[in-house]
Amino acid sequence: MREFIVEADGGSRGNPGPAGYGSVVIDAATGETLAERAEYIGVATNNVAEYRGLVAGLRAARELDPSATVRVRMDSKLVVEQMSGRWKIKHPDMKPLAAEAARVLPAAQVTYEWIPRERNKHADRLANEAMDAGKRGEQWEASASRAGLGARVRETPAAPEPAGPPGDAAAGAAKAREALTRSHRAPAAAQAPSGTEDAPATPVTPVAPVTRVAGAADGQAAASGGDEDTTKTRADRRAARGVAAQAAVTEAGPAPDAGRAAEGGPGVTPSVGWGAAPDLGAPATFVLLRHGETPLTPQKRFSGSGGTDPSLSDVGREQAERVAAAFARRGTIQHILASPLARTRETAGAVAARLGLEVTVEDGLIETDFGAWEGLTFGEVRERHPEDLNAWLADPEAEPTGGGESFAATATRIAATRDRLVARYAGRTVLLVTHVTPIKTFVRLALGAPPESLFRMELSAASVSAVAYYSDGNASVRLLNDTSHLRP
């Protein structure tokens, strides 16, 4: 009896938003790709797209051999657990899709396995090709697909190719390895780091007007230039390159000349540290400010984008004034963007009034929608919705009760927002006034950390974090949860 592997994935750019799926059927014995399926399906959620990809993959396997056994491999723990019968299917949109998938082949012929996202790249690329085609007003065509080429690249590691958007650690490490290889062919002189503190700016206090940016369709031109201290910027840049290069050596093993360099051999440039890498220009630096306290903050209640949209409390307003004074003393902020919620706009307004800048409202910075959990404490959610909470803690694809936003969907949204803003504000220092989940997600993506790292970061009200994004795709986390400005 033949055995097939079906790898399937789906995605939504907005959740819900423009969506597509991809699936591939592989011969389990030979590893040969037997069939590819992909389709743009209009506006849908991630989970709907994933189920559609599963159905298409199972149907393709049935067309090849209806008697074959099938191993389904997906990076959606939600779909895998639901189709395996271990998790209940509660969402009304999921039930008919799960039933449709179950009817394609007899249950005894199909097993389900969760795999990490990096092992599901073929199906992921197919889904993205479908969404790209839909954006052009077209449907995906197999003859134009290059998704399978990406799977074959993994078998030839001699020429690593960056595989992620700017600011993702995986893509940065790949580029660092590539630069490392070039550095051995054409050694360059090493430089020593140096730096000075930024000079304080004189605060001014005009009224801060507000401009709205309507998400990804915004066509505002990129700002250019920068007034940050250039010596300090170069030192930060070199430090980030050193860290990235060290990460590359850790992953790929030492370079051929590394031993001779350590021994002081003649004419050998160190492969990591301060040498070899080209000047990348000033990074786009995102200073990430969590809003000040609201009445819900000290009670530790879920407060996302689907709740009551509380304003700052008296304590929160005092925190906003303190952080505004700190930014005025430092004098490096050049632009201010804020989530559309009241607490972030109020915090941003306090800073803008001290710096004489405008506040631009950026919808992509909004907090996660916690669905029916809005306004509840963690303990209350545990008592009322234990199964949903356990699924949410275990799977980034799981949504809060009532159809809120999953952490996976939040990450997709933040990554798209990051890419737009990095392009728009190249070389600039931008204050992003936002919320707990978006800030933790910016940091997680920059570090290449797994989704569960969101539960391992502390982020206080009115705290400051910072990430710098370089032109080669590397990101450097410079600061996390700094609250020194709040101390008397």
Contact assessment for residue 240 and residue 476, using Cβ atoms and an 8 Å cutoff: yes
Helix 121-135 to helix 46-64 angle (10° resolution) is 110
Q: 50 with 81: CB under 8 angstroms?
A: no
| Strand duo 17-27 + 475-482: pairing | unpaired
Give the pair of three-digit tokens for residue 88.
């209940």
Which residue in the list 367, 374, 397, 399 is annotated as catalytic? 367
Give the gyration radius of the chain's Cα atoms. 24
Q: By the 8 A CB rule, do 109 and 74 touch?
A: no
Query: Is residue 461 a contact partner of residue 435, using CB atoms and an 8 Å limit?
Result: no
Please give the Cα distance from 472 to 469 (Å, whole number): 9
The torsion angles phi and psi of 232, rounded to 5 degrees, stand at -65, -40
Check the CA dihedral 266-280-339-345 and report its sign: positive
DSSP 377: B
Residue reference for tokens 């009760």: 401
**What's the one-letter identity of residue 216?**
A
Whether 9 contacts 53, CB under 8 Å: yes
CA distances to 118, 129, 142, 344, 393 from 121, in Å: 6, 12, 17, 36, 24
Say which of 7, 129, 291, 293 is annotated catalytic.
291
Strand spans (E) along 339-382: 359-362
C-alpha span between 443 and 434 (Å, rounded): 13
Say how far apart CA 58 and CA 263 lie, in whole Å: 58
If phi over 0 gives left and psi between -120 and 50 gives alpha, with beta otherwise, what is residue 103?
alpha
Distance CA(473)–CA(446), nearest Å, equals: 10
Please tell me the distance from the alpha carbon of residue 204 to that of residue 354, in angstroms, as a whole number. 5
Is 385 part of the annotated catalytic residue set?
no
d(C-alpha 334, C-alpha 223), whole Å: 10
Cα separation, 321 vs 328, whole angstroms: 10
Does the active-site annotation cover 291? yes
Extract the tokens encoding 466: 């910072």
The whole-angstrom separation of Cα 336 and Cα 362 is 10
Which residues are tagged catalytic? 291, 367
